[in-house]
Amino acid sequence: MQTKEVRVGNVSIGGGHPIVVQTMCNTHTSDIEASVSQCRRLAAVGAGLIRLTVPTLADVRALAEIKSRLRAEGLEVPLVADVHFSSDIAIAAAEVVEKVRINPGNFHKDFDMACSQFSRLVKVCREHGTAIRIGLNHGSLGERITTLYGNTPLAMKEAAMEWLGLCVENDFHDVVVSLKASNTLVMVEAYRLLARDMEEKGMSFPLHLGVTEAGNGDSGRIKSAVGISALLSEGIGDTVRVSLTEDPENEIPVARYLADRYGHKLHSSMIRLNMEGKKAIATYESPSRERLMLDMACDFGKMLLDRKIDDVEVRGRYYAGNGQEIVLDGTEEAAYFSDELLQAARRRFYKPEYIACPGCGRTMYNLEETFEEVKRRTSHLKGMVIAVMGCIVNGPGEMADADWGYVGEGGHKVTIYRKKTPVLKHIPEKEAIDRLLELIEKDGK
Ligand code: SF4
């Protein structure tokens, strides 16, 4: 898909430029030292854009200071303000950084007010050369859109088109758009619908791809690669963020792999492919375990999502960090890779489905540790959907179709959700995982 170029500081997105790799800080933006230091590390490992959360006007001021310290050090990496629930903060942030991400689902409660605030935002962006990301998420489309279209990929596409229409009406074109979901099928379908509709209507806004709340570890990497690669292989996507509930530095190599593979700088390590009906038998010779997982996800994710194949068997070998050769043929690890891949493409569920946000400056507890503990204690709940979310502001809206959710409130307190309903509020962090497990048990699981 041929998109137009959008300049974000010294970086070009779209217009045939290489796919831009980006990430987001998980520091508190108000902690200027920690944020500057994380930005430095992220820039050093290759982040092309860095986003920071901006929950308050005080954070806009902190962001200005972070930017000025980075520029004083000669670090020109463009910064993006991530704004939810306050159009005024978005407008203030647009004076400070190179790009502002807004979520149409929570830009303003009232749609008419949203339109007039958006015109104000566009004016400031035009004056300051700031780009905008229209960043929609499956879990937070807002009542108006879900009433019209349900909570569907079509709803995501329609919401995006409505806001892109506002951009065109305001004659503002420095816009990138994203339609993220944790469910890879929903995410891929939404972007495909949008790409088709934009093309039909003569629009060519660049697309930012991501599988949101993908979790961590192998599952987070495979799920992200399945969703993002399916689209990049069709020529859809200009910039990528791989969201992991880990140190954001870990996101960069995965995103880099995807950008390089679809920028034709690297190839799969698969050396042979045999088909037995709709089962693919793939033999790899991979330089590392991570590379093997990403290759598998890219080689077969799209075919699984589109039901072109039903199963994948992995054979061959990869080399561990110490150079040791690990043979896969018929091993438990090979079966595990197939299980992970099929679950990421939502074709076979062998364990619970986890939705976990990557965390950001709104997270007030140790998200990574808590998520690991929740995973450890719920691993038997095959097919259930369990969410672990960093904050009460966005978490409940973003956890989409979770059966139960653990949502940090701040102040060492947690709210436990059953579906979309908060059933246990203000639970001390120390007890919260026990209480979540008790609730799941009480619900007969
Ligand atoms: S849900 Fe997670 S990533 Fe999203 S705003 Fe809250 S803490 Fe940040």
At residue 155, does pLDDT exceed 80?
A: yes
pLDDT of residue 440: 95
Distance 398 CA to ligand 1 centre (A): 8
If you average pLDDT over residues 303-320, what whole number do you get? 98
Q: Is the CB of 389 under 6 A from ligand 1?
A: yes
Q: What is the pLDDT of residues 223-261, one digit of tens each?
A: 999 999 999 999 999 999 999 999 999 999 999 999 999
CA–CA dist 27, 300 (Å, integer): 35
At residue 352, does pLDDT exceed 80?
A: yes
pTM of the model: 0.95
Distance 80 CA to ligand 1 centre (A): 15
Distance 389 CA to ligand 1 centre (A): 7
**Atom 5 (ligand 1) nearest CA:** 394
Question: CA nearest 58: which of 92, 107, 108?
Answer: 92
Rounded alpha-carbon distances, angstroms, from residue 69 to 10, 11, 62, 90, 265: 17, 19, 11, 21, 34
Instruction: Note whether 162 and 118 are within 8 A (CB).
Output: no
Query: Mind giving me the DSSP string for 359-420?
Result: --TT--S-HHHHHHHHHHHHTT-TT-EEEEES-TTTHHHHTTT-SEEEEEEETTEEEEEETT
Q: Is the CB of 394 under 6 A from ligand 1?
A: yes
pLDDT of residue 444: 84
Closest ligand 1 atom to 243 CA: 3
Q: Domains plus CATH for the chain?
A: 6-262 (3.20.20.20), 270-344 (no CATH), 353-442 (3.30.413.10)
CA–CA dist 187, 212 (Å, integer): 9
